[in-house]
Amino acid sequence: MPIETYRLVRNAVATTLQPYQRDFIAFAIEQGVLKFGEFTLKSGRVSPYFFNAGLFQTGRALAKLGRFYAQAIVDSGLQADVLFGPAYKGIPLAAVTAAALADHHDRDMPYAFNRKEAKTHGEGGNIVGAPLSGDILIIDDVITAGTAIREVMGLIEQSGARAGGVIIALDRQERGQGEQSAIQEVQAQYGMPVVSIVTLEQVLTYLEEHAGGEMLAYAEAVRAYRDRYGIAG
């Protein structure tokens, strides 16, 4: 899907929640992956929420997470030849999502991941799994600064393949030092779409739908943070 078309579609459903997206947010809260409170980020900002996909740490949780990623890929309309997980967090994400695509959507997509250090014996190289060819869909948890994506782009280009898009769990929709988010910078630099299971606006919608007691306080705090640091549009 061309990136401009994807932007139009994405903007149209920016706050709409599909049933699987509601389930994902509830699941992330239940697993302690999405927390609310006060969290000091590397940027120095004090965020009212924190998302750590590394806390999906059981077989059942990972299998369920893979199904959410797979559904988001299918809903996005993105087509790819290989699913690629950047080391380290992207490795299990690529594996469980490839399995979910095969089991639940009849899409048997090859997957691969990279080593941080190239292997000099045996099969050698720094790519494990399927050869990188055709259109590559990169899978990760979040994009904070875009550093991991830029590193992966080098590997993809060296292999003669093309990056067709990125799938992440949560789009924070937050400005960096400038007016754009890291995701917007990646989209502008590489001309490819970045798909997320949910956006921060959708998390807000969920909180407001369940606004009572603590949830109401969380919604107000997240909305204030979004108003202060969120991207335009």
Residue 138 CA to residue 94 CA, distance in Å, equals 8
**pTM of the predicted model, to two decimals?**
0.90
| Residue 122, domain extent | 3-229
Q: What is the pLDDT of residues 56-110, one digit of tens each?
A: 999 999 999 999 999 999 999 999 999 999 998 999 999 999 999 999 999 999 9
As given in the structure block, the two tokens for residue 181 are: 């988010």
Domain count, the chain: 1
Catalytic residue status for 121: yes
| pLDDT above 50 for 187 | yes
Residue 193 CA to residue 73 CA, distance in Å, equals 12
More confident residue, 70 or 149: 70
| pLDDT above 80 for 199 | yes
| pLDDT above 50 for 8 | no
Q: Sorting pLDDT into bands at 50, 70 and 90, what band is 9?
A: very low
Task: Indicate which residue of 35, 64, 105, 119 is catalytic.
Answer: 119
SS (H, E, C) the chain: CCHHHHHHHHHHCCCCCCHHHHHHHHHHHHCCCEEEEEEECCCCCEEEEEECHHHCCCHHHHHHHHHHHHHHHHHHCCCCCEEEECCCCHHHHHHHHHHHHHHHHCCCCCEEEEEEEEECCCCCEEEEECCCCCEEEEECCCCCCCHHHHHHHHHHHHCCCEEEEEEEEEECCEECCCCCEHHHHHHHHHCCCEEEEEEHHHHHHHHHHCCCCHHHHHHHHHHHHHHHHECCC
Task: Indicate which residue of 64, 104, 105, 121 is catalytic.
Answer: 121
Q: Which residues pair with 199 in a beta bridge?
A: 171
| pLDDT above 50 for 229 | yes
For the annotated binding site for orotate, the residues are: 50-51, 144, 172
For the annotated binding site, the residues are: 42, 50-51, 88-89, 115-116, 119, 121, 140-148, 172
Q: Sorting pLDDT into bands at 50, 70 and 90, what band is 4?
A: low
Contact, 201 vs 16, CB < 8 A?
no
Contact, 155 vs 132, CB < 8 A?
yes
CATH code of the domain containing 202: 3.40.50.2020
pLDDT score, position 123? 57
Residue 126 CA to residue 144 CA, distance in Å, equals 24
